[in-house]
Each structure stands twice: as C-alpha cells, then as structure tokens.
Amino acid sequence: IAFEADGAEHTLQVAVEPDGSLWAVFADATSGSGSYRFRFLRPSAPAGDGGVTVDFNRALLPPCAFADHFICPFPPPGNTLPLAVEAGERNRVDA
C-alpha cells in the first residue's frame, strides 16, 4: 500500500488475509527506543476503488512483545518507515 505522511510518499508491503483484509509488519523511527522493535497493522480490505485507510492508531504489538515463546515475523525489507509513528500500541506495560 502507498500513502502520504509528512509530505512524502511511503509504501508498506502487505499480505492479504482470506477475508480480504490486509496485514503489515512494520518498523519506524521509534522502533527499539520509543516503541517495540516492530508492530503489526491490519487495515481493512481495499474499497471498490482500491483505496485503503491506513490508521496507525490501530497499530498492534506482536505476541512476541509479551512472551519469549512466541515467534513473530520481522518486517520485510522496505517496511521500515523513516518517520516516527507515535500512535497505536507502542510498548508493553509490565504489571
């Protein structure tokens, strides 16, 4: 998917789920310091015109952020955004 943020165009490689929704694994400028090393984003299926809403408020932490026994995919090459995504889940909270 391609989108514009901070006046520049960015792209994310996504997988298409069986229900038509999309799934992306991404990192950004906050990864590893202001947020976990990477996060998941699950945009809804593309609209009839092919448009997709990219809402980083819905970014999720992967299961491996919470327990070492989970195996999570890393972002594919090119899915590291040069901008800081300061939205969505960013770090786990230890009780």
Could you state, in order of their start, the residue ranges of all structural domains in the chain? Answer: 2-65
Residue type, 37: R
Tokens of 66: 């919470």
Residue whose C-alpha is closest to residue 63's, from 54, 73, 53: 73
Q: What is the pLDDT of residue 95?
A: 41
Tokens of 83: 């901008």
Residues 6+ apart with CB under 8 A from 7: none
At residue 93, does pLDDT exceed 60? no
Backbone angles phi, psi at 22, to 5 degrees: -110, 160
Does residue 79 sit in helix, strand or coil? coil
Max distance between CA atoms of the chain, in angstroms, equals: 45
pLDDT, tens digit, for every residue of 35-89? 899 999 999 899 999 999 989 999 999 999 999 899 999 999 999 999 999 999 9
